[in-house]
């Protein structure tokens, strides 16, 4: 398995509920390295660029409202098979369908407020990491 970088977000619901530390600890325990991290407040413009493939879909206004309602933690993670490992640690998008112990089962409340985001493939990871961490000094 190759060393990969992936993008992760600790979403506003998990930040507000005080779960960021537990999620960061789970990342470390899973053997993923944090190469960049920031606490930010997303704007509608940033959301539209990041979620460009969803703009215009019926669920998008609710997604944008949620992602801009409070601060988020954005991360670049690295490790062997990081994309799949982070997705496995998060669990499925719907916390009700997520396995016990997964982050979304532990911290998500429903499909629209599911605590975390992760890139779904290498191309998404490259775009998402580049979108938020575009300057060389952001990644270590």
Burial class (CB in 10 A: 0-12, 13-18, 19+), 81: middle
Spatial neighbors of 47 by CB under 8 A, at least 6 apart, are: 63, 64, 67, 68
- Examine the residue annotation and report whether 117 is marked as an active-site residue of this protein: yes
Separation CA 15–CA 115 (nearest Å):
8
Among residues 43, 4, 38, 46, the alpha carbon closest in space to that of 20 is found at 38
Separation CA 88–CA 55 (nearest Å):
27
- Say which of 19, 28, 54, 117 is annotated catalytic: 117
Query: How many beta carbons lie within 10 A of that of residue 36, not counting itself?
Result: 19
- Report the catalytic residues: 117
């Amino acid at each position: 398995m190759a060393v990969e970088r992936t993008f992760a977000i600790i979403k506003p619901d998990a930040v507000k509920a005080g779960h960021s530390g537990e999620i960061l600890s789970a990342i470390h325990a899973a053997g993923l390295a944090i190469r960049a991290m920031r606490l930010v407040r997303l704007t509608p413009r940033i959301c539209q660029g990041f979620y460009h493939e969803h703009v215009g879909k019926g669920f998008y206004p609710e997604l944008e409202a949620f992602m801009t309602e409070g601060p988020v933690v954005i991360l670049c993670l690295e490790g062997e098979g990081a994309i799949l490992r982070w997705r496995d640690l998060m669990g499925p998008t719907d916390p009700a369908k997520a396995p016990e112990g997964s982050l979304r089962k532990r911290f998500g409340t429903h499909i629209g407020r599911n605590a975390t985001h992760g890139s779904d493939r290498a191309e998404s990871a490259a775009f998402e990491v580049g979108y938020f961490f575009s300057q060389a000094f952001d990644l270590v």
